[in-house]
Amino acid sequence: MQHLPGMQHLRGMTVGARSTRPQQTLRTSISCAGVGLHTGSLVNMTLHPAAPNTGVVFRRADLDVMPGGSVDIPARADAVGDTQLGTTICNDADPSGSAAISTVEHVMAALAGCGIDNVVVEVDASEVPVMDGSSAPFVRLIECAGVEQQAAPRRYIRILRPVEVVHDEKRAVLEPHDGFVVHFEIDFPSPAIGRQAIEVDLAEPCFKQDIAAARTFGFVKDVEALRSMGLARGASLENTVAIDDDAVVNDDGLRFKDEFVRHKVLDAVGDLYLAGAPIIGRYRGARCGHALNNTLIRTLLASPDAYEITTQPPTAECRSWRRARGAVAMADVAAAPA
């Protein structure tokens, strides 16, 4: 993907016995609209197909401060400028300082969970629409647009040794593992949440079925303070699990009994995809959020001995990919005229 450290080493690389996976983009453009979680403003968003090796690029269609019109912001860890209640990426080349897009983590998680390598995410405001507070609407958008394979091998970041960052009681770790597993622990004083832990093997079907629908959450007592800071102005019971007096306020309750920790997994998946490629390894997070996730990725990419760039997928993904290809081939045979 674009600007990923070490990508130059891929040139001339030979492919081993394990099958590579092709990069993927969308088959067609597709749009949605909603409010920004923090701005409360209406946002139109369109996902566009992109060429191989483009990576994920966010585009501010409402800005023309850069040569050529709209402003592009590559989705990379080093572009993250703010992590307060969401992940914000910026284009430092913008002389006005206005080229930023906030709350990108839910879209990033959907792209990661659906195996999309190359896409342009175009918005006409400073924030991604929150939709229902989860990644599920974005997963549905991707599925409606369709996925197209591309003539370039997918590239991965394989973790070679543990990398850890700690701040007070918060901790985030990446360690070697032949796959992509996320382990997360949270501990809130509210009885509505309490202590929760989950470990998820994030093959693509697992993300869509078990993680994508988990919604963001917050406490009613914090709303006025947040809004005075210019945050949470678009938050409502339609896009947030709200907790008041140690109980969930939403009439429809929770989608999962441990929806809170599942949403933290969702956030981590989105934040980790800002590394610029899928990670082959295990992530462990405890009481951490966007800030520590970003520090972890920056620390990893600043440690060349801690990772390698490879076109070889993890063993489980390779098996899954072979099964999927076989199923497609059999479907084509079944549909062919006799």
Query: What's the mean pLDDT in 31-56?
Result: 97
CA atoms within 13 A on the CB side of 215: 25
Query: Mapped to the 3 state alphabet, what secondary structure does 288-322 carry?
Result: CCHHHHHHHHHHHHCCHHHEEEECCCCHHHHHHHH
List of E strands, the chain: 22-26, 30-35, 42-49, 56-60, 71-74, 80-82, 88-90, 100-101, 119-123, 147-153, 156-159, 163-167, 170-175, 180-187, 195-201, 217-219, 241-244, 247-248, 279-286, 307-310
Q: What tens digit of pLDDT does each residue of 203-246 get?
A: 768 999 999 999 999 999 999 999 998 888 999 999 999 999 88
Map out the domains of the chain as residue ranges.
7-11+19-335
What class is the 7-11+19-335 domain? alpha beta
pLDDT of residue 333: 34
Question: Which residues does the annotation mark as catalytic?
Answer: 290
pLDDT of residue 324: 54
Residue 8 pLDDT exceeds 50: no
pLDDT of residue 97: 59
Residue 331 pLDDT exceeds 50: no
Residue 182 pLDDT exceeds 90: yes
Residue type, 260: F
Whole-prediction pTM: 0.89
Residue 268 pLDDT exceeds 90: yes
Residue 142 pLDDT exceeds 60: yes
pLDDT of residue 92: 73
On average, the pLDDT of the chain sits at 88
Q: What tens digit of pLDDT does each residue of 164-181 get?
A: 999 999 999 999 999 999
Q: What tens digit of pLDDT does each residue of 154-163 get?
A: 999 999 999 9
Residue 108 pLDDT exceeds 90: yes
Express as a percent the part of the chain with pLDDT over 70.
85
